[in-house]
Structures are given as structure tokens and as C-alpha cells.
Amino acid sequence: MKTLGKKIRLLRHQKGWSQEDVAKRLDISIPAFSKIETGITDINLSRLEQIAVLFEKSVIQLLTFSDSEQDQKFINEMDIINKKLIDRESEVIDLQKKVIELFEELRQTKIMA
């Protein structure tokens, strides 16, 4: 059950929710929800269905949610971030070229004066 608790914690973090947020939505105490996430408390089927609905997953998806799915999502997010970084680097290089061109224009103007 500890793996399920980790999955629930991961889903909660993806939603940007606190333990208090989820506990309120499930109508349970924060310590009770914390015990679910840490695997201290076994989850009955009705609570599992409630959690699945909350995170917009089926019970089967919640139980079979694999690390490879999370790894793929992480890789996709990293690809997006990497592309943004490459775009920013290109912008910086273009700006550096413009600064050099302006410096050369200024230098030429001073030479002619």
C-alpha cells in the first residue's frame, strides 16, 4: 500500500493541492489523509473510489499508475523546458549580435567625426 500512497501524493502535488485541501475534499481529517499517503492506513474500496474521482482517474488507473507513466511525463516536461532554454539562448545570441553591430556603428561614427 505504500506505493499507492506515493502515487496519491504525486497526484496531489501535480494538482498543487495541500494535504488539507485533499482531506477537506474527501471529508476526512488531515492526519487520516496523511496516513493514507504514508501507507500507514489501508484504503478501503469506497475511499479508493472517492480518491480516484477526486484525481479524475479510474480505480484501475490509480492502482496501475506506473512509474514509467510518470517518467514519460517528466521527460516530456524536460523536453519542453529544454526547447524553451534553446529558444532563449538563440534570443541572447541575437541580442549580442545587435549590441556588437551597434558598437561597430558607434565606432565608425566616431572615426568619421
CA pair distance 57, 41, nearest whole angstrom: 21
Domain residue ranges of the chain, discontinuous segments joined by +: 2-65, 66-113
Whether the model clears a pTM of 0.85, i.e. scores above it, the answer is no
CA pair distance 49, 105, nearest whole angstrom: 69
Contact (Cβ atoms closer than 8 angstroms) between residue 49 and residue 59: yes
Contact (Cβ atoms closer than 8 angstroms) between residue 11 and residue 57: yes
Binning pLDDT at 50, 70 and 90, where does residue 103 land? very high
Contact (Cβ atoms closer than 8 angstroms) between residue 4 and residue 38: no
User: Burial, 81: exposed, middle or buried (Cβ in 10 Å; 0-12, 13-18, 19+)?
Assistant: exposed
- CA-to-CA separations, 32 to 8, 60, 62, in angstroms, rounded: 13, 23, 19
2-65: CATH topology: 434 Repressor (Amino-terminal Domain) (1.10.260)
What is the tens place of the pLDDT at every residue in 65-93? 565 666 677 677 878 888 899 999 999 99
What is the tens place of the pLDDT at every residue in 24-65? 999 999 999 999 999 898 889 999 999 999 999 888 888 885
